[in-house]
Structures are given as structure tokens and as C-alpha cells.
Structure 1
């Protein structure tokens, strides 16, 4: 994947993620609706490829207003990744040459890889995650409006222990996906299956598109590393 194609696919997938986020706020308070209506319009422009450099700058400014409105990234990981993507796209369009644009996209990709590893490390050091108890608590006591069938998974501790270790190992070993094209696509498929499962089971709908938006940078970086090797 070329650098230009990676940037364009990042813009397209991020636009979809931001449009989804914006639509969720249409019935919020007045100032909240104003910020997200602006984000919706800018996201549509970015999706269409209209003046992406200035649209990304405007999205960055819009992001600062939203951070002020909610006193930080109120929706956790999906907001943090959205912020990283917006900031990197803004930066990549302001870079003076292709080499600096490569640095920005490589930084984005490495941040994504590190975020997976860090998440796995934060789990493996806790006995509750290693034993499957943490995941069991998620199913049994989740504050999210999940079905009784989903909550019933808490009655299968051995299965949840296996699932816990599957998640931990995926996240800890995700950096190895950069070793080859085949390993990367396998890693991305497993990671996306994990995010999709969270959406199906718990309704974490924001994670799917925003994480997908980060994947073109990984595909580009792995191909770049192959060329350097």
C-alpha cells in the first residue's frame, strides 16, 4: 500500500467513524449538538475528499472544542484513538515533504501497535484476568444494557478463562504482526473480530470503525519495513 493510499483510506474510515459518533449526539444539549453537527459536516467533506488538508485542520480545532465541552475524552479508548487519528491526519497534511509524512504515519502505526500491547500487559499482570474472573465479572455485572443470554456467559468460568487468555495473547503478541504481510493480515482479522465481538455482546459500536481507520497505517508500515529489510 502506498503512503498516499494509506492516508486516503485512513481519511475515509475515520470519516465513517466520526459520522457515527456525530449522529449519536443529535439529541444532546444544544452546545453539544452544535459541536457534533460541525463534526458531521467536516466528516462528510473528508469522506468526499474535498480539501482534506483544511478539513483535517478544522476537525482538529473541532476536537479541541469537544474536549473542552466534556472536559476530556469522555468515551475512553475510542475517543483517544479518534483524537490520535485526527491529530496525525492534520499533521500529515502540514508536513513539508513525503519523508515527514512517512514519519507521521509510522508514528500512528506504532502507537496503535503499542496500544494493543499495553492493553494486553495491563491484563496479564492481574490475577483476575489470568484466571478469567475479570471477564466473568464483565458478563455478570456489566452496566451496559446486555441481554440475559449474554449475562449467562458468566456461568461458564472455564470458557471465560480461555477467552481471557485468547485476548491477552492476541494483544501481547500483536507487535509480531509487523514481521510479515501474512502475519499482519491475520493479526488484523483477529483484532477486528475481537472489536466486532465487543460490539455484538456489549454494544461497543464506536470501536469497530475507529480501529479500522487505524489499520491502513499498519499495512503501509509493514510494507515499508519489508522494503527496508
Structure 2
């Protein structure tokens, strides 16, 4: 069984890597926000060894408020929101008393991941364009995402995109069922990672990979904790 401490440590390392990737984009790219993200990178490197994690997480949480103020919210949408959710839940879990309070803070992260997949699928499945495959056709035909020209030809394969649409929707809507046992959960997470990696390769949504993977230890721990508590 994955212990809470091991799950927290794994999440800290994965979150630090996610923040480092995000920070690199600003340090070597946008000049106006370079200094803000240099400090995030420094603190993220400090989080990797696991010493004084609670203080570094608290500093990262305080620093995140400066970034939120700079961009008037999570400027990159879902991936930044997930990163902040992971950060705040980690920080709370480290600072709250051991036992149920600390477990509840970390377990909340796992529950939010489950809900986020389900809600994403539910929103898609009630949308006619997603049910017919038109949404994916539009993505490959007109999207501003950096889709390779060779991949744009997929827009002319409606049957394939219809199947892909339903695979995505059914996976997301049925994701909560992966908690039935550890085997189904690990399979579901393998599919989820493949999905996020594919999005990174096809559309350049690279931040989603690390930020979402950083939340997966909470799912593995929560499933084992719930089974052990029954």
C-alpha cells in the first residue's frame, strides 16, 4: 500500500518538475515575467530533495499569489488551475495535524481529479458537435493549435474522429469506475497519461502532462486508503 508520506513525496517531486518546465518557458521566453518565474524555479529545485518541504510549499503558495495577481488569474487555464490545486492541497496536507486532517487535504486532491475527468466528459457528451465528431473535425481543420499539416488531413476522416470522440467521452465519464480496484485504476491512469501525451504531441498542450501526472499519486493513495478503511 502506498503510504501517505510516499504519496506526498512523489507528488512534491512531480509538481516541482511541472513548475520547472513552466518556469523555463518564461525564463527563456517572456522577459516581462522572467524574475517571477526565476524564483518559482529556485523554490521548485529546493523542493526536489525533500528537506523543509512544508516551508518551501508555503513559500510557493505565497509566491503563486503574486503570479495570479500579475496575470489576473490562472493565465493558462486548466493546467495552471490543476497546478495550483496540487500545490495548495500539498501545502495543507503538510501543515495540518497528522491523521484525518492531513489525509482529508490530500484526499480532496484525488476527489477533484475524479470530478474533473467526469465533468469534462459530461460537458462533451451533451454537446452535439462532440457526439457527431464535428468538434474534433473543427480542431484539425481550423484550430490555432500547432497541428502538423499532415495531421490536418484527419479532418477528412469523420468516422475515425467520431470513434475518437466517443472514446474520449466514455473514458472521462466512466473514469470514476476505475476506483473499483487498484488494477482498473492503474489501467485508467495509463490511458489518461497516453491521452495527455497525445494532446501534447498533437496540440502543444505540454503543461497538462506534468501537472496532471503530479496529481495521480493522490488517486493511487486515496483508492488504497478507501479500500483499507472499508
- In structure 1, the gaps of 5 or more residues are none
1:16-41, CA deviations, whole angstroms, 9 ceiling, x for partnerless residues?
000000000012133x1111001000
Count of residues in Structure 1 that have an aligned counterpart in Structure 2: 228
Q: Hey, what does 1:71 align to over in structure 2?
A: 72
1:43-58 pair list within 5 angstroms: 43-58=44-59
* Counterpart residue number, 1:20: 21
Question: Unaligned regions of 5+ residues in structure 2, if any?
Answer: none
The residue number in structure 2 matching 1:96 is: 97
Is the 2:146–2:202 contact (alpha carbons within 8 Å) kept by the matching residues of 1?
no
Counterpart Cα distance in 2 of 1:189 and 1:136:
26
Alignment of 1:12-161 (within 5 A): 12-26=13-27, 27-30=29-32, 32-161=33-162
Mapped to 1, the partners of 2:144 and 2:76 lie a distance apart of 15
Give the Cα separation in 1 of the matches to 2:48 and 2:134. Answer: 42
CA-based RMSD:
0.8
TM-score, normalised via structure 1 length: 0.98
Q: Secondary structure at the match of 2:30?
A: coil
Q: Work out the CA distance in 2 between the residues paired with 1:87 and 1:4.
A: 16
- State the Cα distance separating 1:221 from its structure 2 match: 0.6
Distance 1:105 1:179 in 2: 20
Aligned pairs for 1:152-191 (under 5 A) are 152-191=153-192
